A and B are shown apart, each in its own frame.
Chain A
Amino acid sequence: DQQVKQNSPSLSVQEGRISILNCDYTNSMFDYFLWYKKYPAEGPTFLISISSIKDKNEDGRFTVFLNKSAKHLSLHIVPSQPGDSAVYFCAARGGGPGGGADGLTFGKGTHLIIQP
Chain B
Amino acid sequence: DTEVTQTPKHLVMGMTNKKSLKCEQHMGHRAMYWYKQKAKKPPELMFVYSYEKLSINESVPSRFSPECPNSSLLNLHLHALQPEDSALYLCASSLTSNYEQYFGPGTRLTVT
Contact = CB atoms under 8 A, between A and B. Distances in A.
B4 to A, nearest CB: 7
Nearest to B98: A100
Q: Is the interface of B mostly helix, strand, loop or mixed?
A: strand
Q: In which size bucket is the chain A interface?
A: 20 to 34
Given A42-B105, A43-B106, A44-B103, A98 B42 contact: no
B56 A101 contact: yes
Interface stretch (B12-20, B43-51, B61-69, B77-85): B43-51
Nearest to A111: B40
A84 B99 CA distance: 24
A45 B3 CA distance: 11
Interface stretch (A14-22, A62-70, A71-79, A102-110): A102-110
Contacts of B55: 98, 101
Interface in A26-52: 32, 34, 36, 41-46, 49
A89 interface: yes
Interface residues of B, number: 28
Interface string B75-99: 0000000000000001010001110
A109 B40 CA distance: 9
B101 interface: yes
A32 B104 CA distance: 21
Nearest to B103: A43
Interface string B17-35: 0000000000000010101
Interface of A: 32, 34, 36, 41-46, 49, 89, 96, 98, 100-109
